[in-house]
Copies of this chain bind each other. A is one copy, B any other.
Amino acid sequence: MNLFDKHRTRFEGAQAACRERFCWSPFPDMPAKYPDSAQAQAQGQARFQAYLGQPSAPQRFALVQPGQVGELGEEVSPCTRQPLGILYPKADIDTLFDAATSAIGGWAAASIDTRIGVLMEVVDVVYREHLFEIAQSVMHTAGQSANMAYAGSGVNALDRAIEALVYADKAMRAVVPNARWERQFGPSKIVLDKTYRLVPRGVAVCFSCASFPTWNAWPSMMASLATGNAVIVKPHPATVLPMAISVRVFRQVLSAAGFDPNLVTLAVDSSNEPIGKLLVKHPRTAIVDFTGSVQFGQWVERNAHPALCFTETAGCNTVVLESCHDLDATLRSLATTLCMFSAQMCTSPQNIYLPRQGVHTPQGTVPPDEVARRLADAVAALTSDPKKAAMILATIQSDQTLALLQQMQTAGEQRGQVLLQPRPYAHPEFPAARTSTPLMLQVGKTERDLYGEERFGPISFMITCEDGPDALHQATTDVKQFGGLTAFLYSTDEAFIAQAEAAYSQAGAQLTTNLTGAMPLNFAAAYSDYHVTGLNPAGNASLTDLAFVASRFRITQSRRPAPVAATAS
């Protein structure tokens, strides 16, 4: 059985889900539901441990790829704050491009089914053999909790990878491979046989970010590879291991299927000597996928030409709290989402806009100061127990975020009110972990230079506005100007909800209305929730629409007169 047939049922399930956008996944949503979970988790942990070295005796990550010119590695676990002690091959960039370029021919010549089959096999091998090892590596680089690393950086990221394959497949199958074309020209009938070929653009460069390495990178890699391109992966130097393991799996599966493993290579750099700009401007870069900072993302967007570029950066995710049916439930949901992975997710809300006259509830109108206070209390309650805090807040990926917390607290003291002061909490499993409870500030609408950009990490702003419409106006204006991926609305007024849906649609943020309960507000479901609209500065690409895949390949054709026998018929 070929690999496409092997994974056909799963792929067809994904196709149906993408078409109708219902809830679907071939994977269990919790680690505990994974087959032989305890053993698999233990094995993943053992494999992760086996990668680790000491600063004095670093270990080489076994990745045999062309052009090695040295070794690099500077990862530090946010959990233990110890260096991982792993060295990766430093590659000569031109050699990687040469190897990638020469790998493309055979891969591009393979059928769509073959490529999709091989890439579905990659998904399956990651799921069956490397999931917990990757989850551990995400914990000790990005700093996620075990559950989030399993779900958000594991199965949910695999779902987004499959989703990208579904759309790539759809775009490619819109091109019929050949046609017969017959037309009269005066007395003559011309019969042409036409052949259409799908031609990949060339070498794609895929940047992965420090806090969520796999979630964007896997689908980007899949989109480029499915359409016949090669991919050079450039991980953030703080979070290399999850992508190094991924690259190795891609290479092994490609190789086992008879393809050149250099279709996927790793280009590691260091924070002192970044290679991102070199890669983007390399004359053979045909596609750039970028996830990371707004600043570098904007540079990529401006400078990628003639390469295509697909970006996801960040923005001010907004909440408009106008009225609600159950303020406690609403605040519980908001508090949870403000805490989730210490708001180091591109979908975490940051700015909460409140009407000056208060939030209407069945129990009466609650003034904004009280709403802010109760929300801060809810956050404090969630994070007061270190065990619960560890599960929800996890760790802080970078020292820079701690510095930003301090800076924002000082600014907040001067220009508004500090509702909740951040403090380290004692992680029960990792005593040395880099942690912080959230900083919550209350500021006036005019302090826009404070709240009007992404403040990465557990930092949020309660912003008092004139009234509901003003809150909506300010929130959507901020999204349009500064970017925003997600937005959250609480209102019992259907007319206001309709206005908000229209305004957020124009601003280009994905809106969730009146959600309370067990689902994390900012949960983005593969096959169902479109991620990033491209309508504001938070990124230009969406996971996953046809635009994400359709231009990664081009169409060429050849035509010639049909054999005479056909013409005579």
Contact = CB atoms under 8 A, between A and B. Distances in A.
B542 A194 contact: no
B305 A519 contact: no
Interface string A517-533: 11100000100111001
Given A183-B525, A301-B306, A535-B556, 8 more contacts: A174-B545, A199-B505, A199-B506, A201-B535, A510-B558, A512-B558, A530-B555, A546-B550
Contacts of A212: none
A556 B21 contact: no
A515 interface: yes
Most central of A21, A186, A542 by chain B CB within 10 Å: A21
Nearest to A187: B518
Interface of A: 19-23, 170-171, 174-176, 179-183, 185-188, 190, 192, 194-197, 199, 201, 301-302, 305-306, 497, 501, 504-506, 508-515, 517-519, 525, 528-530, 533-535, 542, 545-547, 550-551, 554-561
A305 B518 CA distance: 42
Nearest to A183: B23
A528 B194 contact: yes
B554 A542 contact: yes
Closest 3 A-B residue pairs measured CB to CB? Answer: A185-B518, A21-B179, A188-B518
B188 A20 contact: no
Given A179-B21, A517-B185, A554 B535 contact: yes
Contacts of A301: 305-306
Contacts of A560: 497, 512-515
A395 B306 CA distance: 36
A511 B559 CA distance: 6
Most central of A197, A505, A510 by chain B CB within 10 Å: A505
Nearest to A298: B306
B305 A22 contact: no
Contacts of A525: 181, 183
A506 B199 CA distance: 7
A197 to B, nearest CB: 5
Contacts of A20: 176, 179
Contacts of A195: 501
Nearest to A201: B535
B561 A515 contact: yes
A180 to B, nearest CB: 7
Given A175-B545, A183-B519, A511-B558, A196 B530 contact: yes
A486 to B, nearest CB: 10
Contact of A190 (B171, B180, B505, B519): B519
B511 A557 contact: yes
Contacts of A501: 195, 558
Contacts of A535: 199, 201, 554, 556
B513 A559 contact: yes
11 contacts: A185-B518, A190-B517, A190-B519, A501-B558, A511-B556, A512-B558, A514-B560, A542-B554, A546-B550, A547-B550, A550-B550
